[in-house]
């Protein structure tokens, strides 16, 4: 489980670094928000994919 979270936060850190400086005070907050958005996007894509497979 921790490996999944680490991979997720590495991806979120890379995406966040495109928009926010790494030395900004709120970098970790924005990184966490981006990680939550990624989880939501992955779960949404998975549910839509399973709906597509049933039809």
- Indicate the domain borders of the chain: 2-54
Separation in Å, CA 23 to CA 12, 27, 38, 41: 16, 7, 22, 27
pLDDT of residue 50 exceeding 90, the answer is no
Mean per-residue pLDDT for 17-23? 93
Confidence tier at 16 by pLDDT (50, 70, 90)? very high
pLDDT the model gives residue 55: 62
What's the pTM? 0.82
Mean per-residue pLDDT for 5-17? 94
Residue 34's SS3 state is helix
């Amino acid at each position: 489980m921790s490996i999944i979270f680490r991979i997720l936060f590495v991806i979120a850190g890379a995406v966040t670094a495109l928009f926010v400086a790494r030395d900004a005070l709120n970098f970790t907050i924005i990184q966490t928000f981006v990680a939550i958005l990624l989880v939501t996007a992955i779960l949404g894509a998975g549910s839509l994919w399973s709906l597509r497979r049933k039809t």
